[in-house]
Chains A and B, each alone.
Chain A
Amino acid sequence: MSELLSPEILMSIMTAAMGVATIILLAALGELVTERAGIWNMGVEGTMLSGCLIAYLVMASTGSPILAALVAMGAGLAVGLLIGFMTVTLRVDHFVTGLGFNLLASGLTLFWFRSYVGRGKPPSYSTIDKAPIPVLSDIPVIGPILFDQHLLTYIAFFSVPVIAFFLRRTTFGLETRAAGENPQFLEAKGLSVATRQYSALLFGSALTALGGAFLMLTFADQFRPDISGGRGWLAIVAVIAGNWRPVRTMIAVMVFAILDSVAVHAQGVGVDVPYQFFLMLPYVASILLLVMIRSRSGQPAKLGVPYLRH
């Protein structure tokens, strides 16, 4: 057990946690904005999975990670449009729409992947390298953890204050929140609820797909069916555990990521506790966080309620 607490292993745990957190954080921030606009998007897992596949296909075909990330975001936009059409325009139940999309994405990505690969070996590629920030990455301890990461990790964490600012200080951000809290108020002012909800969904889905692209481009050199592995669900839990606030959501994501990283390292160093105990920690933490947050929920008042224009 003491080896798990050695400085080298602790640094490795934190460094790895930043990478794991990036995937969930991008999706969680996207979901946060979407939910603040009143849309329960349960299709995060499917959106992330779609982003993974599209990023894989583009990366394997072109070798360009930037193009892969951009096209994956484009696929996310398409998914957002589809979910928006179902939930905002047709006012289908948000949960049914999201869960249905997850099933569709699971099957469709599998079908597409198998069609692409055929009976041959799936193409692979070199995963993208880290982008250390000069000077800062040389700072002892925190340098490698915070400043020797992938570009998208910096972007993900930088997005936290940006999104917090957007939701609290910008007109469109406040209107987006109003769509989730009091859509009638928006209508009374002559503003379109649907526009804000669609915008939030498009933004959120693109960010979620970018999280999937990050998973694909940095962790795996090959796609596999259902590679998102439940990370989309963790993103939703993180938003709830973060009480629909960006900084708290980031903290919840970091708790999951660190516990996940501890579980991985616990096996590697060989602690006396059965490793399955560590594997369940992120999920136990998510349940505990949900229980703790229940009494002081900041859930948007009209979240998940299809809005009928008066």
Chain B
Amino acid sequence: MNIVKSLSMGASFLAMAGSFALAEEPSELGIGLILATGPEASWDATLMRDLETLIESAPHGLDISYKNINGVWGEQAGDAMDLLAKTGKYQIIWAHSSYSDQVKALQDKYPDILFVLVGSGNEGLGGNAYWVYKRAHEPSYLLGVMAGRLTESDVVGVVGQFPSEDVNDQINSFFAGARSVNSDVARKVAFIESWYDPAKAEQFTNAQIAAGADLTFQLVASFETCEKATIMCFGNYVDHGETSPDSVVASALISWTQDLNWVIDEWYDHAANGAPYEGNVTERWVSMANGGTALSGYHAFADKLSAELKDEIAILSAQISSGELEIPVDLSLPTSD
């Protein structure tokens, strides 16, 4: 009887010890960032900005550190991810572009690492691979409404990076907004075929101006060109009105904060509670209503825009946020008229 009692007590102790081990809360988190360009590109800079802010807030009391590897693509990116994983210092590897081929090859090799894929061109892998999407079509629509109201030549341009789903949706929404208030708007669309190339961006912007555009939506941040040509521009991802107040009317902003929190929560649940990873296989994006995107302020243009236009934008913005106005996601390839 004593032996049975002792065994049962021992088993209870082991079970308790096991449950303590499972419940042990991690205090540190390393995040490896794989960036296709680097901090000079708004897409990457916004992620680093939001990550820095998140580190300050220390979710789950975590001491978070990160390392970014810039300008890597294809096999090189796969090697970089593998190296980060091998060090054992990085529990989350955030691959900030189309890297699903590389992650697919690594996700089973490192089952405890949470991989993140970002944006279009990816395949939903599930398991320990999470897929973050960014759709800025809603603020882009609002910029389009402004463009439609402000254009004098009725020719409006967009200079984009590559034609891809999360670029096309913005461009199409922008023109949808412009045409919702001005059906005469003619579209001029150009892709510089690079995620970041200021020289090409300048050339393409000038070509659109030559084609009659008096307003351009700059997905490639060539605001200097707008200033020299004295035309108005719209910015993308970051608030370019702060740095180019003479040309940028407003910008479509993106935030990664909710995505970062989601991913960290998922990792934490896995690390602290043993919850299995359940990566999404379909696109997951945070709407403007939920803080995933936003429209910037007008900065120097606050006094130049009419009160009617500002009111119109405020109303539309409220309607989008409340769900009263739904901006459809149009992924078709935008072309010039």
Q: Are B39 and A119 in contact (CB-based, < 8 A)?
A: yes
Instruction: Kindly state the separation between the CA atoms of A220 and B202 in the bound complex, as whole angstroms.
Output: 7
A20 to chain B: which residues have CB within 8 Å? Answer: 203
Write the B14-38 contact mask toward A (1 if CB under 8 angstroms, else 0). Answer: 0000000000000000000000011
B337 to chain A: which residues have CB within 8 Å? Answer: 270
Q: Are A227 and B199 in contact (CB-based, < 8 A)?
A: yes
Give the contacting residue for B199; candidates A12, A219, A275, A279; CB below 8 A.
Answer: A219
Q: Are A229 and B204 in contact (CB-based, < 8 A)?
A: no
Q: Are A264 and B190 in contact (CB-based, < 8 A)?
A: yes
Using CB atoms, name the residue of chain A closest to B210. A12
Q: Are A16 and B203 in contact (CB-based, < 8 A)?
A: yes
Q: A224-B196, A267-B189, A270-B336 are in contact. Are A12 and B206 (CB under 8 A)?
A: yes
Q: Are B38 and A221 in contact (CB-based, < 8 A)?
A: no
Q: Which of A73-81, A121-129, A161-169, A248-256 contacts B (4 or more CB under 8 A)?
A: A121-129
- Most B-side CB within 10 Å, residue of A122, A219, A223, A229: A219
A117 to chain B: which residues have CB within 8 Å? Answer: 39-40
Write the B187-206 contact mask toward A (1 if CB under 8 angstroms, else 0). Answer: 11111010011111011101
Write the B155-191 contact mask toward A (1 if CB under 8 angstroms, else 0). Answer: 0010000000000000000000000000000011111
Interface contact tally, CB-CB below 8 A: 99
Q: Is B211 an interface residue (CB 8 A)?
A: yes
Q: A16-B207, A268-B211 are in contact. Are A229 and B198 (CB under 8 A)?
A: no
Q: Is A215 an interface residue (CB 8 A)?
A: yes
Instruction: Kindly state the separation between the CA atoms of A117 and B207 in the bound complex, as whole angstroms.
Output: 31
Q: Could you give 27 example pairs across A and B, Cβ below 8 Å? A: A8-B210, A16-B203, A16-B207, A114-B70, A117-B39, A119-B48, A121-B45, A127-B202, A127-B228, A220-B199, A222-B198, A223-B40, A224-B198, A225-B71, A227-B197, A229-B199, A265-B210, A265-B211, A268-B188, A268-B190, A268-B208, A268-B210, A268-B336, A269-B188, A270-B211, A275-B191, A279-B193
Q: Which chain A residues have a beta carbon within 8 Å of chain B's beta carbons?
A: 3, 8-9, 11-12, 16, 20, 110, 114, 117, 119-122, 124, 126-127, 129, 215, 219-225, 227, 229, 261, 264-265, 267-270, 275, 279
